[in-house]
């Protein structure tokens, strides 16, 4: 295996102008914590922050749902390394955090962890059992990062 594949590389792209976007070091910390869930601290991940138009277009083109959603996960490989893209819609994330009374930073951390678990093969839409397992992993990672349980804060 090439030396480069023994590390986690996280690229961060800012394709929108939004207030309070997470800084690159924060994003990388959250991504590493989510990848470490399975001891797979290897991979190539890109996290991209976008506006509602781009998020809607991607969701429509790839998921056939014509609206901007909070996070989209595009997995390319899981083994031997995790490779994929996460796309976060800044206006949707900000709106959800405000509506749910959550700190914006905590909501971004949750969605990045959530998306990284999708890239590793976790899926909350397949069954209630898988959803519960994914939520449990999200809670553990976020707790280790110092964030509250994102599901306990739902209103």
Domain ranges of the chain: 3-145
The DSSP element (H or E) to which 126 belongs, if any, is none
Q: What is the pLDDT of residues 56-79, one digit of tens each?
A: 999 999 999 999 999 999 999 888
Strands 71-77, 82-89: pairing kind:
antiparallel
Residues 6+ apart with CB under 8 A from 38: 120
Q: What is the pLDDT of residues 40-60, one digit of tens each?
A: 568 899 999 999 999 999 999
Would the pLDDT of 1 be above 50? no
Omega before residue 80 within 30° of 0, cis = yes
pTM of the model: 0.90
Q: Beta strands of 62-127 (E only): which ranges?
A: 71-77, 82-89
Would the pLDDT of 8 be above 70? yes
Q: Give the other-Cβ count within 10 Å of 82's Cβ.
A: 24
Would the pLDDT of 144 be above 50? yes
For domain 3-145, give the CATH superfamily: Metalloproteases ("zincins"), catalytic domain (3.40.390.30)
- Structure token pair of residue 148: 């509250």
For the ranges 34-43, 90-99, 137-146, the lowest mean pLDDT is seen at 34-43
Question: Which one has a higher pLDDT value, 7 or 141?
Answer: 141
Percent of the chain with pLDDT over 90: 72
Question: Which one has a higher pLDDT value, 79 or 1?
Answer: 79
Rounded alpha-carbon distances, angstroms, from residue 115 to 2, 3, 4, 19, 134:
26, 26, 23, 21, 11
């Amino acid at each position: 295996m090439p030396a480069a594949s023994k590390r986690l590389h996280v690229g961060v792209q800012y394709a929108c102008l939004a207030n309070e976007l997470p800084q690159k070091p924060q994003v990388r910390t959250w991504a590493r914590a989510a990848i470490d869930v399975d001891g797979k601290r290897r991979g190539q991940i890109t996290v991209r922050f976008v506006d509602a138009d781009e998020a809607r277009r991607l969701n429509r083109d790839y998921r056939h749902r014509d609206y901007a959603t909070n996070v989209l996960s595009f997995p390319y490989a899981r083994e031997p390394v995790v490779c994929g893209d996460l796309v976060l819609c800044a206006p949707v994330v900000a709106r959800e955090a405000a509506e749910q009374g959550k700190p914006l930073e905590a909501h971004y951390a949750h969605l990045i962890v959530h998306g990284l678990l999708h890239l590793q093969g976790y899926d909350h839409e397949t069954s209630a059992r898988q959803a519960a397992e994914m939520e449990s992993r999200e809670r553990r990672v976020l707790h280790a990062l110092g964030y509250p349980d994102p599901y306990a804060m739902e209103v």
